[in-house]
Amino acid sequence: MNIGDVAARSGIPPKTIRYYEDIGLVTPPRDTNGYRVFRETDMHKLAFMGRARALGFTIENCRNLLALWEDKERASADVRNIAKEHLAQIETKIADLNAMRDTLKTLVSSCSGDNRPECPILNNLATIANG
Amino acid sequence: MNIGDVAARSGIPPKTIRYYEDIGLVTPPRDTNGYRVFRETDMHKLAFMGRARALGFTIENCRNLLALWEDKERASADVRNIAKEHLAQIETKIADLNAMRDTLKTLVSSCSGDNRPECPILNNLATIANG
DNA sequence: GATAAGGTTTCCAGTGACTGGAAGGTCAAG
DNA sequence: CTTGACCTTCCAGTCACTGGAAACCTTATC
């Protein structure tokens, strides 16, 4: 399989696949013409990457998960810990965004949004500490 | 005021303040020794930036908001539109993160997390499309 | 055999919003 | 006069790609 086929099948753009090779996540051999030749295992790894990234795991997380995935002796606790920590980070991020949203929503609804210059949003940004 | 004082008062690190000068958000004059001299208006702008950034506005958003803030003739609708669009983006992000969290939560709770290698998290990442 | 389209290669540079670090100039206190 | 804290500039790195250029390869058509 050439890079284009893998890209189509995995949903990961060719550029990104090359980048993943650069950072050592996949190591497809080369054909005599220099083209990368992707095996089924490479394909699987990339699909795995796509799903893990879609769940917001960092590249380093993915690297660890891939290693665990390939390690038939791994303890599921190791995987679970990575996922749990990631889950905690996501929840923190959600909480932060919720706070932002609430503040913004209040500001937006307090602003008349007409042609007058009076604007509570700017007033707030200018003077009041956000909580 | 020197950069350190402004940093302390605005909560923005000196490095970041210099960066903001680089990209033209503030333009403090210089003393004879080359030190930046921050006026009250610079201080206000930086405090404004700090709050707008804390609400997740991008630098370009902030640039626009600052311009509107300084424009006494502005229409509050302009500000409101920026804020509303930003609000919509935040809500999209929250929805994405919520979906991630739900998936991850399910995966984490389905994994025994012991010494055995059997792990639903890896199985999922390896084979099942995420929704 | 020529040619054109499309796929592949490498390499370099840019994104956003900083942040770290090095090398050096300045200032106030003791 | 030295110490230490502050300030300056510049360069490089972060994260995870993404865009673009220039050149090579393959396939199809004429």
**Dist. CA A111–CA A106, nearest whole Å:** 9
Confidence at residue B66, expressed as pLDDT on a 0 to 100 scale: 94
Confidence at residue B127, expressed as pLDDT on a 0 to 100 scale: 80
Q: Does residue B25 approach strand D to less than 7 Å at its CB?
A: no
- What parts of chain A have a pLDDT lower than 70? 128-131
Neighbours of A124 (CB within 10 A): 21
Check CB contact of A94 with chain B, cutoff 8 Å: yes
pLDDT tier at B91, thresholds 50, 70, 90: very high
**Dist. CA B62–CA A45, nearest whole Å:** 41
B91 contacts A94? CB cut-off 8 A = no
Give chain B's mean pLDDT: 92
Confidence at residue A131, expressed as pLDDT on a 0 to 100 scale: 32
B101 contacts: CB under 8 Å, gap ≥ 6? A87, A90, A91, A94
Give me the mean pLDDT over the B25-44 stretch. Answer: 96
Confidence at residue A109, expressed as pLDDT on a 0 to 100 scale: 94
Under DSSP, the state recorded for B129 is P
pLDDT in tens, B42-74: 999 999 999 999 989 999 999 999 999 999 889
Confidence at residue A128, expressed as pLDDT on a 0 to 100 scale: 55
Q: Report helix angle A59-70 to A40-54, nearest 10.
A: 130
Closest to A117 (Cβ–Cβ): which among B47, B75, B111? Answer: B75
Indicate the CATH number of B1-74 among 3.40.50.300, 1.10.1660.10, 2.70.170.10, 3.30.390.30: 1.10.1660.10
Give me the mean pLDDT over the B120-127 stretch. Answer: 89
